[in-house]
Amino acid sequence: MTSTMDYSTTTVLGLIGCGIWGRVILRDLKDLGHRVWVVEPDTTARLEIAGIADGVVSDVSTLPGVSGLVVATPASTHFAVVSSLLSREVPILCEKPLTTDIEEARALVARACGRLFVGHVWCYHPGVEELAKIARTAELGPVLALRSTRTNWASPRRDVDSVWNLAPHDLSLAQYILGSIPEPRYAHAEIVHGRCVGMIGILGSTPSAIFEVSNRFREKRREIRLHCREGVAVLGDPDSGQIEITRGGPGGKPELELRAVDREPALLRELRAFCAFLNGGVAPRASAADGLAVVEALEALRGLAGLPAANGTS
């Protein structure tokens, strides 16, 4: 349901790009009660969102003054788009990955001066927050490994391959739950018709982070498993409103706990946090430096798998 908040007290934001994901962002920002101006070069798309956005323009140069900016353009354009926005001197939330080139990411971090953040949306999922809490409190003993699976069939994004599209989520999960991204050790790429459609990656030792991403699975899977010395905590269905905790040693009978977590969508929570920051709240969880760390790890993994590092679409 759309908020009935008094618009005189709302935040005015600029949304750059309104494709598949951008329209979800637009919907959530409006549901939160904010005013949104959209920059979208496609004429048909502008007409389709004209009755939803508070204003629609075709170019960044004609965007009026706003309190903050959200970038939801294709990943390969992030460097150019964010660079064109930095002179506005307002906070920017850029969708993942920060860039698809390590030198471009470093350049943005050097220029951003604490105003650039990355949309590592899974860090705002209530189930992921609970897994991070379990890891940090050692509720199940020391963490041994973080395993994640992210699969579905095909991808609408053609400017980057499946690894650039999917794996940033899993690296940001490791960053948030474990506290940092372990050192990349091994990667195997899945290649079909000359295009990379998936990867298995292994990082670190104890704790390790192991992930599989692929656009060659018929079913959509999103599973996160936190393996600890005294048990395993699993977010098996992101929409279930619970995590499964299994305790017990080898050979013993497992004890299962179903722990409830909030069902509020992660994107809504992320956007609410960003807007709160614009109004004097705490900074978003993923800084530009965090985004750079993900790009660095991805380029290292791509190298281990024999893939091109920057702007990979092959």
Domains of the chain: 7-119+269-287 (3.40.50.720), 122-264+296-304 (3.30.360.10)
CA atoms within 13 A on the CB side of 110: 6
Closest CA to 257 of 267, 247, 271: 247
Per-residue pLDDT tens over the stretch 34-72: 999 999 999 999 999 999 999 999 999 999 999 999 999
> Model confidence over 59-68: pLDDT tens digits?
999 999 999 9
Decide which of 156 and 15 is more confident. Answer: 15
Distance separating alpha carbons of residues 241 and 303, to the nearest angstrom: 37
pTM of the model: 0.93
Residue 156 has pLDDT above 90, yes or no: no
What pLDDT sits at residue 157? 85
Distance in angstroms (rounded) separating the CA atoms of residues 168 and 100: 11
Distances (CA, A) of 218 to 192, 203, 207, 258: 15, 27, 31, 28
